[in-house]
Structure 1
Amino acid sequence: MANKAKGIVKLNGDYSLRYTTNALVELEDAIGLTLPEILVRFERGGLGFKAIRTIVWAGLLHQFDNGDGTYDITQKEVGDLIDELGFEAVIEKAATALESAFPQSENKPNRETRRQGIEKN
């Protein structure tokens, strides 16, 4: 289940994804791309397993933040979690959580209409 108002998407009973500003900064640093570049590649399926694991890791950081710039979860542990929960299921939930991090205003065009150059009136 998701709590889209807070941008939280549950992976299972113990873990949830949430892409806070700090998590997105960590994601950009770890992958070496800007967020828009990451999102385009993610949507097109143009990221490798390492980048996908890093996206999931960044979404979990809110649960493991020590408050000093360190986290109590490693990317290897995230890889094991992905294996446990199923790659496709985790990818789908990561996509939902990323979308939840950027809620749309009713006056703003959605991603598909922006791609097509169509504005809502």
Structure 2
Amino acid sequence: MTAPRRDDRDRGQVTVEFLGMTPLIILTLVLLWQFVLLGYTFTLAGNAADEAARAGTAVLDRQAACETAGVRHLPSAWEGGARVTCGESGGLVTAEVRLQVPVLFPGAVGFPFRVEGHAGAVVEETD
């Protein structure tokens, strides 16, 4: 019987190493995707709050217009868990939008915490 050549001992090593690293690669991609969803949810909350506050400045029924605009400017997957609250004091309309951060897929299960977006706009004079 002859001794195995040096090249034969390493045969298949790359395959074994790749299979061992695959779960770590997948976990890293899942975490990166979740952070993208978190950032996107923050962006959506801020934009919806801006639009809600802006919509509440120009009409007489500020509360209804503000809340409607806040939800209208959200993608359908984020509308379900959205909470829009509006208020007015001292000539300033404020809007606060709270959104649930989805777990991996928008519209599916959400994390138990919410992200918030805040905005304010000066009330327009009506003649």
TM-score category (smaller protein)? under 0.3
Structure showing the higher strand proportion among its residues: 2
| Structure of greater relative contact order (alpha carbons < 8 Å, 6+ residues apart) | 1
Give the TM-score, by structure 2 length.
0.22
More helix by share: 1
Q: How high is the TM-score relative to the length of structure 1?
A: 0.23
